[in-house]
Chains A and B, each alone.
Chain A
Amino acid sequence: MDKHLIPRGLKRSPFGRFSLWILLWAAILAIGLYAMYLCLYEGLNQTNMDNRYAFGLWIYLDLTVIALGAGAFFTGFLLYILRRDELRAVINSAVVLGFICYSGAIVVLMVDVGQPLRAWFTFWHPNVHSMLTEVTFCLTCYLTVLAIEYTPILLKSRKLSQIPSFLVFEHELHKAMVVLAGVGTFLSFFHQGSLGGMFGVMRGRPFAFREAFSIWPTTFFLFVLSAAAVGPSFVIVSTWLVSKLSRKTLVKKEVYILLAKISGVLLLVYVFLKAIDTIVWINSTAPSTGFSAFEFYVRQEFGTWILFTEIVLLGLLPAWMLLNKKRQQTLSWVVTAAFLACAGVVLNRFVTTIQTLALPTLPFDQFLSYVPSWQEVATFAAVIAYGVLIYSLSFRYMKLFPQERELAVSPHPSSE
């Protein structure tokens, strides 16, 4: 039915099955949109956040998807600036993922603030000392960059590429990719960092507060590095997932291995710096604010096991796995390692947002718990559904993996 839209030489599932898949996710999206409507119309009393748990599931989601979406800027940086041409095989997919992650995060942020119509105040009356100002500026600018990077992929689709002027435009855009990749890297560096900085500057929250290195708290650098480290890992996991779901080989094994190496090296550096940061925090930063670091971990739910899991099980272990030369050849090994690396960052963002707010600072205050309302969960699910929909449509109708056609003819060219 839609055969004339599918890129030449590529095989896609029957239209009926694809429609069912789309309908399923569209239903989740619809429920989420209703939840968003409730939050915007009735107010944020629809959530389970409160004056003490001022940030909840949504801020956690924003920090997480933006970290995972870092694959877009970092792959672009490696491909266009450092000229790792092998990565052309995944760049389109990474750009689409980045676009989904960033646009999703911004939509959720607009539901999360109490007066979304006042969001432009940040651009008009910015407080230049606020980390959130920088995040707002960079996020919006970078989403624009991602939209421009997404355009050529769209223009190269089968129908649109029949219009000659579009092809010319696409060609011209392509020439600008180096500049866009550079701008994207610059913007990403700062907002990834500022998201970490947002929590690192919170003097009133000794669990999150970190000493400044230059003008930024150490979490600024740790967030940049962790995002850059898991970006490629997320590209591995997502590519593998798409290839499993579509039952196709999409990229050569070498590409997975290269991504694994890059991710592994960066993760190793990150884990090393994170360990140093934690030691300094335990011995100096936390005590100077009147708290013994280990007192933050007295509650079993949030015990030191989290710290161990984050740094060792989901940091050092996947870094070693990703860099293991022998096992790298096994795809399942690489994917497992990449998955663990992503889980590490997901946990880190959880600790930074949720655990920080759960801990009391006043001596007579209580340890807090918070469970998101169905409206919060549905909004969260809507972002995932939105992502799946955009990605599914892009995968079906655009050329996300340039190697796919070649691999369809001879599925294992790399084994020779």
Chain B
Amino acid sequence: MDTEPGKYRYGMAIDLDRCTGCGACMVACAVENNVHPAQPRATERTGITWLRVFKVENGEPFPQNRAAFVPMPCQHCDKETPCISVCPQNAVEMDQQTRIVTQVPVRCMGCRYCMAACPYHTRYFNWWDPKWPAGMEKTLNPAVAPRTRGVVEKCNFCHGRLQAARAKAAAAGQRELQQGTYIPACVEACPTSAITFGDLADENSEVAKLARDENSFRFLTRLRTEPKVYYRSTQPFVRQLAESALERLKKEAANG
């Protein structure tokens, strides 16, 4: 079976030219992973969105104005993963077979050190008790355990789907996962097929090819954490975003 350490290196390539910012990926992600509906008092900073779509602009006035959308799941940093080393009780782990950064909510005491350490801000805390409106609990996905109040959670590339794909392969007598049998919910839901998912360790996989594309880039690579989520855009201003740190901050200051 596929249990050899380091055999797989799952990652994503997101084509920002194709992303329309519709948010279908966010909804699919929440439904798949039993993310509870936001509480009435929740804000954009206290709600839970394992995958969040940001809007970026080039800052030019009308005719030259350009915008793009950036879906931001956990970047699954491959090296020096900032959230793993900081957790005091091993509630964050790197799955050695898949190189997926996994969160173990039942071990988490909710100190939120990992959230402070994450440069991408893709970790979310359960500020409230999870509640589903009456009847809506029937939509819960039985393959994924809902989390309790007071713990941290984040994208795990749909762990439930990985397990399901493995079980299916084992039942069919296959020793390895076939390409395309395991894909996260956001990839499946994207109406423009902007997200490609696969094994970066396999040079011939679609995702590995896209990662090598000349228009591909990753965010904050200079932190040397080797994120496994690649972005692609033919618009130079979007690609420049990756390195132009704090540009926005400078503009904010200039505008008062």
* Residues from 202 to 244 in B contacting A, C-beta threshold 8 Å: 219-220, 222-225, 241-244
Q: Flag the segment in B83-91, B160-168, B193-201 that touches A.
A: B83-91
CA distance A1 to B219 in the complex (A): 70
**A364 at interface by CB-CB < 8 Å:** yes
Which chain B positions have C-beta within 8 A of A172?
A: none
Chain A residue at minimal CB-CB distance from B45 = A50
> In the docked arrangement, what's the CA distance between A291 and B120, Å?
15
Contact with B along A189-201 (1 / 0, CB 8 A): 0000000001001
Q: Does B134 contact A (CB under 8 A)?
A: no
B7 at the A interface (CB under 8 A):
no
Cβ of B90 and Cβ of A55 under 8 Å apart?
no
Given known pairs A119-B109, A367-B252, the reply for A44 and B89 (CB within 8 Å) is no
Q: Inside 8 A of A204's CB, which chain B residues have their CB?
A: 82, 117-120, 220, 223, 225
Nearest Cβ on chain B to A105's Cβ, whole angstroms: 14
Minimum CB distance partner of A118 in chain B: B109
Instruction: Report the nearest B residue to A132, measured CB to CB.
Output: B88
Nearest B residue (CB) for A50: B45
Q: How far is the CB of B31 from chain A (nearest CB, A)?
A: 20
Any chain B CB within 8 A of the CB of A263? no
Tell whether, in the assembled complex, residue B85 and residue A201 are in contact, meaning their CB atoms are under 8 Å apart.
yes
Stretch of B21-29, B121-129, B181-189 that contacts chain A: B121-129
Q: Does B175 contact A (CB under 8 A)?
A: no
Task: Return chain A residues, CB-CB under 8 Å to B151.
Answer: 114-115
**Residue from the list B54, B85, B89, B224 in contact with A364, Cβ < 8 A:** B54
Asked whether, in the complex, the Cβ of A126 is within 8 Å of the Cβ of B88, the reply is yes
With A and B bound together, what is the CA distance between A340 and B117 in angstroms? Answer: 31
Q: Which of B72, B80, B245, B250 contacts A203 (CB 8 A)?
A: B80
With A132-B111, A298-B249 known to touch, is A289 a contact of B223 (CB < 8 Å)?
yes
Whether A82 is near chain B, meaning CB under 8 Å from some CB there, is no
Complex Cα–Cα for A398 and B133 (A): 58
Q: How far is the CB of A320 from chain B (nearest CB, A)?
A: 34
A201 touches B86 (CB 8 A): yes
- What 1/0 mask marks residues of chain B from 98 to 111 whose CB sits below 8 Å from any chain A CB? 00000000011111
Q: How far is the CA of A6 from the CA of B46 in the complex (A)?
A: 52
Q: Which residues of B contact A201 (CB under 8 A)?
A: 85-86, 117
Give A140 Cβ to nearest chain B Cβ, in Å.
12
Task: Tell yes or no: B253 within 8 A of A by CB.
Answer: yes
Residue in B closest to A366 when the chains form the complex, CB atoms: B248
Cross-chain contact of B45 among A52, A115, A125, A299 (Cβ < 8 A): A52
A127 & B46 in contact (Cβ 8 Å cutoff): no
Q: B41 on the interface (CB 8 Å rule)?
A: yes
Q: How far is the CA of A122 from the CA of B250 in the complex (A)?
A: 41
Query: Does chain A have a CB within 8 A of B149?
Result: yes
Residues of B within 8 A of A125 (CB): 89-90, 107
Pairwise interchain contact B85-A136, C-beta atoms closer than 8 A: no
Bound complex: CA A50 to CA B43 (Å) = 9
Neighbour of A51 across the interface among B123, B220, B225, CB < 8 A = B123
- Of B125, B129, B220, the contact of A290 (CB 8 Å cutoff): B220
**B159 contacts the other chain (CB 8 A):** no
Considering the chains assembled together, what is the distance between the CA atoms of A136 and B87 in angstroms? 12
Cβ–Cβ contact A132 & B113, under 8 A: yes
State which residues 85-126 of A face B: CB under 8 Å. Answer: 112-116, 118-119, 121-122, 124-126
The answer to whether A43 and B90 touch across the interface, beta carbons within 8 angstroms, is: no
The residue from B70, B86, B249 contacting A132, defined by CB atoms under 8 A apart: B86
Closest A residue to B128 using CB positions: A45
B246 within 8 A of A: yes
Is B112 part of the binding interface, using a Cβ–Cβ cutoff of 8 Å?
Answer: yes
B116 at the interface (CB under 8 A from A): yes
User: Which range holds the interface residue count of chain B?
Assistant: 35 or more
**Cα-based distance from A129 to B248 in the complex (angstroms):** 34
User: Which chain A residues border B249 with CB–CB below 8 Å?
Assistant: 295, 298-299, 359-360, 367
How far does the alpha carbon of A222 sit from the alpha carbon of B104 in the complex, in Å? 34
Interface size classification for chain A: 35 or more
Q: State whether the Cβ of A362 lies closer than 8 Å to any Cβ in chain B.
A: yes
Shortest Cβ distance from A203 into B: residue: B82
A-contacting residues, B1-41, CB 8 Å? 39, 41
Q: Does B115 contact A (CB under 8 A)?
A: yes
Point out the residues of chain A lying under 8 angstroms from B247, CB to CB: 363
B243 near A364 (CB under 8 angstroms)? no
Complex CA gap A256/B107 in Å reads 49
B45 and A205: CB pair below 8 A?
no
Tell me the chain A residues, 331-361 only, with Cβ under 8 Å from chain B: 356-357, 359-361
Residue pair B113, A206 in contact (C-beta under 8 Å): no
- Is B143 located at the chain interface by the 8 A CB criterion? no
Residue of A nearest to B238 (CB): A364
Q: Is B56 an interface residue (CB 8 A)?
A: yes
Asked if A54 is an interface residue, CB under 8 A from chain B, the answer is: yes
- Complex Cα gap A285–B90 (Å): 28
- Residues in B whose Cβ lies below 8 Å from that of A198: 86, 113
Instruction: Check if B150 is an interface residue, CB within 8 A of chain A.
Output: yes
Across the interface, B70 reaches (CB within 8 A) one of A113, A291, A364, namely A364
CA distance A362 to B229 in the complex (A): 14
A363 with B150, Cβ < 8 A, contacts A125-B90, A201-B86 known: no
**Counting CB contacts under 8 A, is A133 at the interface?**
yes
With known contacts A114-B109, A204-B118, A362-B121, A51–B150 Cβ distance under 8 A = no
A202 at the interface (CB under 8 A from B): yes
Q: Beyond A361-B119, A363-B247, list 10 extra A-B contacts (CB 8 Å).
A: A43-B128, A43-B129, A52-B45, A52-B121, A114-B151, A127-B90, A203-B82, A204-B82, A364-B54, A367-B249
* Residues of B that sit less than 8 Å from A by CB: 39, 41, 43, 45-46, 54, 56, 70, 72, 80, 82, 85-91, 107-113, 115-121, 123-129, 148-152, 219-220, 222-225, 241-250, 252-253
26 intermolecular pairs with C-beta atoms under 8 Å apart: A43-B127, A43-B149, A45-B46, A45-B127, A51-B45, A54-B125, A113-B109, A113-B110, A114-B111, A114-B112, A115-B150, A127-B88, A130-B88, A132-B87, A201-B117, A203-B82, A204-B120, A206-B223, A288-B222, A289-B222, A295-B249, A300-B253, A356-B116, A362-B119, A362-B219, A365-B248
